[in-house]
Amino acid sequence: MCGIFGAVTRKGDVTPAILAGLALLEYRGYDSAGVAVFTERGVEKRRRVGKLEVLREALHREGFGGPALIGVGHTRWATHGGVTEENAHPHSDSSGDLVLVHNGIIENYLDLKRELAAKGHIFRSATDSEVLAHAIEEQLARMEAPAKESGTKTAGDETALERAVRATMREARGTYAIVVLHRRFPDRILVARQDSPVVIGIGPDVHGNPASFVASDVPALLAHTRKVYYLRDGEVATLTADRVTVRRLDGELVPFAPLEIRWDAAAADRRGYPHYMLKEIEEQPDAVAQTSFDRLDDDRGDVRFEDFALGDERLRAIRRVQIVACGTSLHAGLVGKFYLEHLAGLPTECDYASEFRYRSPIPSGDVLAVGISQSGETMDTLKALGEARTRGASVLGICNVRGSSIPRMSDAVLYTHAGPEIGVASTKAFTCQLVALYLLAVRLGRARGHLSQEQGREAIRALRVLRPRLDPLFSDDARENVHRIAKRFAGARDFLFLGRGINYPIALEGALKLKEISYIHAEGYPAGEMKHGPIAMIDATLPVVVIATQGRDREKTLNQLEQVKARGGQVILVANPGDPEAERLADEVIEVPATTDELAPIVNVIPLQRLAYEIAVMRGLSPDSPRNLAKSVTVE
Ligand code: AGP
């Protein structure tokens, strides 16, 4: 939702590191940005509405009054309060000595604000976050009342600031990752977390200097250190240049066990592509292979998952699967329902995570709740999984981001090895989710005896040969064809996407991709449902994308296509090469390689992602950072 980066060191200037860190986190929010540092002049703060670049230019023109050994920055995605400079972070207390950045939502902020206002606090913003700055100020005054603190203490020692932050956060209700700095305690950064991601980077930095860092996501830390600590819910950390101390909200010390990050920061780079989204579309053959190949046991016709906590006995006890997810991940779940029913013989439901919690799901201990999430931080999915667990289900997370919140709360985890996905529109994470669900279904099918060894082998063989089958989608001809079709329809006002069966979720995904990055109104529909309503929209101005590749549903889908044609609709047909109907029925054809019915969605979605990308670029839009969206949605 928002991006946070903070640093404390004993040498140099943290401002450039903060700006560089924020740049890597801008995908989390980009409607305003701000930085606060302590220099010889005292607390200095700059905030600007707009992308980070606007702030960077402002700092270039009117920089800080010297180098800073400590500071924090923030990129915002507005929740409470409009997009204004006053609402941008960092926020300050009444004295201006304390600065705070926050990611999340404080649910009881109005109550806290009322109490603080009654004590004379004046608020400059409409945010829930500013309230925390004032609440800590109030607590600090209370802690210091009996014996005035002198300010700085030996690094790592408890000060009144730690106690004030803990006392405040015990009273706050909601979700947060906060970072707090105080001019009278200039050697330390305080960090607290509840349900919002935040990672601590532990020094020395790559130059050997004592330093500590805090960020919303690991890639922002990798230029400085590979030693990290994922702060957990209910923990508060004190970072000085030489040391990190973690306590629980009640003050109890937490044993500190940092991790070593092995993946490369360069993997998160654009590698010469004009946009991350295009790079990520093109990376899909590799990503699909990385997610599957090491896990395939060709001989046994089975799948092996690394560190998988659900053994055969547990898998055999499952009677039902409940998938919860949001957006693109939900569409993966809808395909997964087909996999699990067909390959594992398990009744499967798939719900919007945001709806699941509010529909009285039937409690049962033999349910496997599967949460699908690229980021692993989507609040709706986290909460839905929490609800499923309360009702007795075992929880399996399918995630792309290692160590994120969903994997950490799950009984078992299946990682998609898509690599960092930076473009806000999910592409490679989606195809890898489909692969992970397919693997899960094979594993369950084999463990439960629903699939014979031979059937398992067949399913695995199909996946093994998928990678070279994807090649034609990345040929110059295929790229040019989609480019030409995009040009023809870039000016359309609406789009309709139709698919049947396992390709219906792909129609939904094609429509979502187009909507979110090109802002064209698009709907995905089950092809058979078209005659019950959307058919009324069809005329010569409406492009209709029809997915009708080989398989059980092809003929029926083509019948629906005839109905579109008869009403003058413009048909873009996704079909396998040599389809005899393509010429006759379609205005444009997107050829996709043939594969099995189950794996066809992985193939069919790729040109639809490219179509959305091309149209967005032709409309002069930035596909990597569409308006109003954020890469990970950590609020309900
Ligand atoms: C995808 O293109 C979207 N931007 C969005 O729907 C996304 O899939 C959704 O917010 C879920 O995110 P997650 O996979 O990180 O949980």
Domain residue limits, the chain: 3-262, 276-469, 474-618
- Cα separation, 300 vs 320, in Å, equals 25
Mean pLDDT of the chain: 92
276-469 folds as Rossmann fold (3.40.50)
- Cα separation, 579 vs 478, in Å, equals 16
Assess whether pLDDT exceeds 60 at residue 339: yes
CA dihedral angle for residue 421, residue 425, residue 430, residue 432, rounded to 10 degrees:
-20
Q: Could you write out the DSSP letters of every residue in 406-467?
A: HHHH-SEEEE-------SSS-SHHHHHHHHHHHHHHHHHHHHTTSS-HHHHHHHHHHHHTHH
Q: Which residues are within 8 A (CB) of 18 and not within 5 positions of it... i.e. 6 or more apart? A: 5, 6, 7, 35, 37, 71, 72, 73
pLDDT for residue 634: 75
By the 8 A CB rule, do 429 and 418 touch? yes
Assess whether pLDDT exceeds 50 at residue 556: yes
Catalytic residue among 113, 515, 565, 631: 631
By the 8 A CB rule, do 199 and 229 touch? yes
Do 3-262 and 474-618 show the same overall fold?
no
Atom number in ligand 1 closest to CA 633: 10
| Secondary structure class of 36 (helix, strand, coil) | strand
Angle between helices 128-144 and 160-171 (to 10 degrees): 130
CA distances, 485 to each of 491, 544, 583 (Å): 11, 12, 15
Q: Which residues are within 8 A (CB) of 70 and not within 5 positions of it... i.e. 6 or more apart? A: 7, 8, 9, 14, 37, 38, 181, 186, 187, 188, 189
Six-digit token string for 630: 């954020």
Q: Please choose from 633, 634, 635, 636 the residue to mutate so as to test ligand 1's pocket, defined by most ligand atoms within 8 A of CB.
A: 633
Check if 378 has its Cβ closer than 6 Å to any atom of ligand 1. yes
Assess whether pLDDT exceeds 90 at residue 152: no
Q: How far is the CA of 557 from the centre of ligand 1 (A)?
A: 28
- Cα separation, 570 vs 545, in Å, equals 8
Chosen CATH of 474-618 out of 3.40.50.12280, 3.40.50.10490, 3.40.190.10, 1.10.260.40: 3.40.50.10490
pLDDT for residue 588: 96
By percentage, how much of the chain surpasses pLDDT 70? 96
The stretch 457-474 carries a mean pLDDT of 93
Check if 373 has its Cβ closer than 6 Å to any atom of ligand 1. yes
Check if 633 has its Cβ closer than 6 Å to any atom of ligand 1. yes
- Cα separation, 59 vs 62, in Å, equals 5
C-alpha 126 chain-centroid distance: 27
Assess whether pLDDT exceeds 50 at residue 154: no
pLDDT for residue 318: 96
Per-residue pLDDT tens over the stretch 504-543: 999 999 999 999 999 999 999 999 898 898 888 888 899 9
pLDDT for residue 403: 78
pLDDT for residue 595: 95
Check if 516 has its Cβ closer than 6 Å to any atom of ligand 1. yes
Whether domain 3-262 has CATH 3.60.20.10: yes
Atom number in ligand 1 closest to CA 426: 2
Assess whether pLDDT exceeds 80 at residue 266: no
Q: How far is the CA of 374 from the centre of ligand 1 (A)?
A: 7
Please classify residue 475 by burial: count the beta carbons closer than 10 Å to its beta carbon, then call 0-12 exposed, 13-18 middle and 19+ buried: exposed
Per-residue pLDDT tens over the stretch 596-612: 999 999 999 999 999 99
- Cα separation, 65 vs 44, in Å, equals 8
Check if 634 has its Cβ closer than 6 Å to any atom of ligand 1. no
Q: How far is the CA of 329 from the centre of ligand 1 (A)?
A: 6
Residues facing residue 70 across a β-bridge: 8
What letter does residue 85 receive in the DSSP assignment? T
Q: How far is the CA of 405 from the centre of ligand 1 (A)?
A: 15
Atom number in ligand 1 closest to CA 513: 2
The question of whether 399 is a catalytic residue gets the answer no
pLDDT for residue 259: 87
Q: Please choose from 281, 378, 627 the residue to mutate so as to test ligand 1's pocket, defined by most ligand atoms within 8 A of CB.
A: 378
Which secondary structure element, helix H or strand E, spans residue 49, and what is its range? strand 42-49
pLDDT for residue 632: 76
Q: How far is the CA of 607 from the centre of ligand 1 (A)?
A: 19
pLDDT grade for 56, boundaries at 50, 70 and 90: very high
Assess whether pLDDT exceeds 80 at residue 268: no
By the 8 A CB rule, do 507 and 478 touch? no
Please classify residue 523 by burial: count the beta carbons closer than 10 Å to its beta carbon, then call 0-12 exposed, 13-18 middle and 19+ buried: middle
Atom number in ligand 1 closest to CA 429: 14
Tallying the residues shown for the chain, one arrives at 636
Per-residue pLDDT tens over the stretch 222-249: 999 999 999 988 999 999 999 999 999 9
- Cα separation, 407 vs 396, in Å, equals 8
By the 8 A CB rule, do 129 and 107 touch? no
Per-residue pLDDT tens over the stretch 414-448: 999 888 899 999 999 999 999 999 999 999 999 99
Q: How far is the CA of 349 from the centre of ligand 1 (A)?
A: 19
Number of other residues whose CB lies within 10 A of the CB of residue 267 = 12
The stretch 192-212 carries a mean pLDDT of 90
Atom number in ligand 1 closest to CA 326: 11
Atom number in ligand 1 closest to CA 328: 8
- Cα separation, 378 vs 196, in Å, equals 9
Q: Could you write out the DSSP letters of every residue in 101-121?
A: EEEEEETTHHHHHHHHHHTT-
- Cα separation, 188 vs 199, in Å, equals 16
Closest-CA residue, ligand 1 atom 2, reads 425
Q: How far is the CA of 577 from the centre of ligand 1 (A)?
A: 32
Q: Which residues are within 8 A (CB) of 502 and not within 5 positions of it... i.e. 6 or more apart? A: 335, 338, 551, 553, 597, 598, 600, 601
Closest-CA residue, ligand 1 atom 4, reads 425
Assess whether pLDDT exceeds 60 at residue 265: no
Which secondary structure element, helix H or strand E, spans residue 480, and what is its range? helix 476-489
- Cα separation, 360 vs 349, in Å, equals 14
- Cα separation, 179 vs 72, in Å, equals 8
pLDDT for residue 546: 95
- Cα separation, 617 vs 480, in Å, equals 15
pLDDT for residue 77: 74
Catalytic residue among 2, 326, 399, 432: 2
Angle between helices 109-118 and 128-144 (to 10 degrees): 50
The stretch 130-150 carries a mean pLDDT of 86
pLDDT for residue 155: 43
The question of whether 383 is a catalytic residue gets the answer no
By percentage, how much of the chain surpasses pLDDT 90? 72
By the 8 A CB rule, do 231 and 244 touch? no
- Cα separation, 173 vs 171, in Å, equals 6
Closest to 203 measured CA to CA, from 262, 243, 254:
243
- Cα separation, 573 vs 588, in Å, equals 6
